[in-house]
Amino acid sequence: MELTQLKGIGKTTAEKLHTLGINDVMDLLFHLPLRYEDKTCITAIEDLLGFSHAQVEGEIVKSYVTQGRRPILVVEIDDGTAFMQLKFFNFYYSQKIKMRAGLRIRAYGEIKHGMYGMEIIHPEFSLGEKQPALAESLTPVYPKSEGISQKLLQKSTAQAVQLLKFGEFDLSELLPTDWLNKQNMPSLIDALLYVHRPPPDADVMQLLNQTHPAQQRLKIEEILAHFLAMHQARTAIQQQTAPALPVSQKQNQTLLSRLPFELTGAQARVIKEIQADMSCSYPMQRLVQGDVGSGKTVVAALAMQAALVHGKQVVMMAPTEILAEQHLVTLKGYFADKKVVFLSGKIKGRPRTEALAEIGGDADVIIGTHALFQSDVEYRDLALVIIDEQHRFGVHQRLMLKNKGQGQKGLGRETLPHSLIMTATPIPRTLAQIAYANLDVSVIDELPPNRKVINTVLLDNSKMPQLALRIRNACSNGEQAYWVCTLIEESEHMRSKAAQDTFEELQNQFPDLEVGLIHGRLKSDDKQEVMDRFKANDIQLLVATTVIEVGVDVPNASLMVIENAERLGLSQLHQLRGRVGRGNRQSHCVLMYQAPLSENAQIRLQTMRETNDGFKIAQQDLKLRGPGEILGTRQKGSMEFRLSNPEQDAQLFKLAKTMAADLMQSNPKVCDLIIKRWQKQAQTLAKV
């Protein structure tokens, strides 16, 4: 049913609703409340509790406007049990006139402790002796976007609920009735009616905490749809063909003999898992996650070896030029006897034409950025795709690169390349199992031996002189330091300017040190020159933007200063800190901050000071920011749960995962219907 068939929704409003994913009336039913307001009763002022929401009613005793830096309309009311204040920071003159002493007022909002007792700031209110009847049920509050009012959503959803009651929708029950009864969950229709219009006797706390059986019923089907889509994608991939690329221990040893170190046990285990996958005739789909400095590049190189010994091509894509260039230098050292080609968006004209010809010809290892999946890039015989820092690429970008390997024929079917995606951003195990249920997950959970723990300290911006002394002492001892500039603005131009200003200030402050500068707007050759000079210790102090977050490896750098660290998330802080501590020296990370700090910022910085364990940091990050941010904002779609939360609903996720496996075996038709109901793009998104 079209949205415009509902009262109050015209073409323009319908288009605005589309931005919320509401394309028809059925979608309205599945646009579920975020929370509820209890307007079913009046609470006595003397019984009010701070930091809760409540509805009060009383007589206006007086109203006045405070004369300060910002005028505030204050309305004092009395309900016979106590006095309280209603405050309006934005008000009209006519509103002030209406708030006359002696009038009755009903108000709803968040209760706060004010200077003169309880208060509500900007309450919803109604004036007059004759007040409307109290609500018969909790009032749902829906997710909304710009141009769409809460009132519109409430009225539109109410109409959709009425249509559901009258049987206008085909919402057949897809879950087994006996299973629902066993779990004490209602049917889908009963659950939808309940969450949109909870009855007067509803358990308010359960609803507010998202633990009511009706909410659990909707959550379980939503989670089930996610696992089914991932399960289907995994099965579909396993039915595709990929080149079988077995590799012998002797062939591995050829590469291992070139390494100046021994593999850790975790690296050896993960390499074995990868090479076992690549020996199969269906595409590998594996995620490798490892903490900063755990040695993922070597693991990637051993995966490449399995393809290269068969004369195949491999490609490695990184999100930034500086990281791609770092991989280029490392892998050229590992594969000195192979043709290694680099391609990025900044390579133009004749050099690009030559690179494209090599990629289509005798190139063995191809390294680069997003330029690798452009339409004019054609590979000779692509058998392995490695994507580093995968969360920085959108799902469709990853799919485009993987599709570059399609087309070669095998067993009468098109072949796909093997896929290995890597991340140095640790993801809590439970979240990884949910977000990447269509992938095999390997974890490098061991750091190289003798790696010293980085000492992390917090320093107020006002204590700059102490920091200057620390930098001077480190550099005079032959060590090197990073100074990372952060900005709230997302503009690369603004970041570069801030770094330039800091660079000039530090040059003046440390005239006896060689100070360097690197940022995203530098040309590729200039960036490489700066990094080469820093690696050679020609530069002692490197001023940088967060472009150095991943990939930069300078063992002699033992001091990291991050200014305005309170502006960065835990994951980014941990990645930046990982640029030091890569050699034998004791390393330090100084997190500079501007007081006062928000509660979240305090937690983030304290977490950084207390632990170097990336997985513990990721767990704390999950609590603070939620799963969508941890996985990267560019993964939008792959983890868009309307109701469910992997952290809060861990048991439901566990239950749904088991149920998904059973349903795929017993009733594949129902699986398709569940996916279609909840995830319109699930099958596309689960391919990558």
* Enclosing H/E stretch for 570: helix 570-577
Please state, in angstroms and rounded to a whole number, the distance separating the CA atoms of residues 468 and 472.
Answer: 6
In order, the DSSP letters of 582-648 are -SSS--EEEEEE-SSPPHHHHHHHHHHHH---HHHHHHHHHHHH-HHHHT-GGGTTTT--SS--TTT
pLDDT at 411 over 70: no
Please state, in angstroms and rounded to a whole number, the distance separating the CA atoms of residues 497 and 491.
Answer: 10
Please state, in angstroms and rounded to a whole number, the distance separating the CA atoms of residues 382 and 377.
Answer: 12
Rounded to the nearest angstrom, the gap between the alpha carbon of residue 643 and the centroid of all alpha carbons in its chain is 17
Please state, in angstroms and rounded to a whole number, the distance separating the CA atoms of residues 324 and 391.
Answer: 15
Closest to 616 in 3D by CA, of 604, 631, 602: 604
Q: Which amino acid, one-letter code, is at 536?
A: A
Share of the chain above pLDDT 90, in %: 51
pLDDT at 546 over 90: no
Q: 């002699």: which residue's tokens?
A: 556
312: confidence class by pLDDT, cuts 50, 70, 90 = very high
pLDDT at 176 over 80: yes
Please state, in angstroms and rounded to a whole number, the distance separating the CA atoms of residues 81 and 59.
Answer: 11
Rank 252-256, 274-278, 451-455 by mean pLDDT and report only the highest. Answer: 274-278
pLDDT at 686 over 50: no
Q: Determine the pLDDT at residue 392.
A: 57
Please state, in angstroms and rounded to a whole number, the distance separating the CA atoms of residues 578 and 560.
Answer: 9
As a whole number, mean pLDDT of residues 241-269 equals 92
Q: Determine the pLDDT at residue 688.
A: 41
Q: Determine the pLDDT at residue 623.
A: 78
Residue 90's DSSP bridge partners are none
> Residue 418 corresponds to which tokens in the numbers above?
């093997």
Q: Determine the pLDDT at residue 140.
A: 92
In order, the DSSP letters of 280-340 are SSS--EEEEEE-TTS-HHHHHHHHHHHHHTTT-EEEEE-SSHHHHHHHHHHHHHHTTTS-E
Q: Where in 157-244 does DSSP place strands (E)? A: none
> Residue 511 corresponds to which tokens in the numbers above?
């005239």
pLDDT at 276 over 90: yes
What φ, ψ does residue 561 adopt, rounded to 5°? -110, 125
Lowest mean pLDDT among 297-306, 338-347, 421-430, 506-515: 421-430
As a whole number, mean pLDDT of residues 353-365 equals 95
Q: Tell the burial category of 512 from Cβ atoms under 10 Å away from its Cβ (0-12, 13-18, 19+).
A: exposed
Other CB atoms within 10 A of residue 265 CB: 11
Are the CB atoms for 261 and 434 separated by under 8 Å?
no
Q: Determine the pLDDT at residue 525.
A: 80
Are the CB atoms for 588 and 568 separated by under 8 Å?
no
Hey, what domains does the chain have and what are their CATH numbers? 3-29+140-202 (no CATH), 45-127 (2.40.50.140), 249-444 (3.40.50.300), 455-611 (3.40.50.300)
- In order of 466, 529, 590, the CA distances from 507 in angstroms are 17, 19, 19
Lowest mean pLDDT among 416-430, 455-469, 670-684: 670-684
- List, for residues 118-137, the tens digit of each pLDDT value: 999 999 999 999 999 998 88
636: confidence class by pLDDT, cuts 50, 70, 90 = very low
> Residue 630 corresponds to which tokens in the numbers above?
């941890």
- List, for residues 590-600, the tens digit of each pLDDT value: 999 988 888 88
Rounded to the nearest integer, the mean pLDDT of the chain is 87
Report the 3 state secondary structure along 446-492. Answer: CCCCCCCCCEEEEEEHHHHHHHHHHHHHHHHCCCEEEEECCCCCCCH
Rounded to the nearest angstrom, the gap between the alpha carbon of residue 507 and the centroid of all alpha carbons in its chain is 37
Q: Determine the pLDDT at residue 683.
A: 43
Q: Determine the pLDDT at residue 230.
A: 86
CA atoms within a 13 Å half-sphere pointing along the CA-CB vector of 563 = 21
pLDDT at 639 over 70: no
Q: Which amino acid, one-letter code, is at 418?
A: H
Other CB atoms within 10 A of residue 542 CB: 25
As a whole number, mean pLDDT of residues 664-686 equals 75
CA atoms within a 13 Å half-sphere pointing along the CA-CB vector of 310 = 19
- In order of 105, 110, 118, 124, 351, the CA distances from 83 in angstroms are 13, 16, 8, 18, 78
DSSP type of residue 129: S
- List, for residues 460-498, the tens digit of each pLDDT value: 988 888 888 889 989 988 999 999 988 644 455 555 567
Share of the chain above pLDDT 70, in %: 91
Are the CB atoms for 331 and 312 separated by under 8 Å?
no
Please state, in angstroms and rounded to a whole number, the distance separating the CA atoms of residues 273 and 440.
Answer: 9
Q: Determine the pLDDT at residue 466.
A: 83
Lowest mean pLDDT among 145-159, 397-411, 495-509: 397-411
Please state, in angstroms and rounded to a whole number, the distance separating the CA atoms of residues 645 and 223.
Answer: 10
Q: Determine the pLDDT at residue 685.
A: 42
Q: Determine the pLDDT at residue 633.
A: 40
> Residue 118 corresponds to which tokens in the numbers above?
């309880």
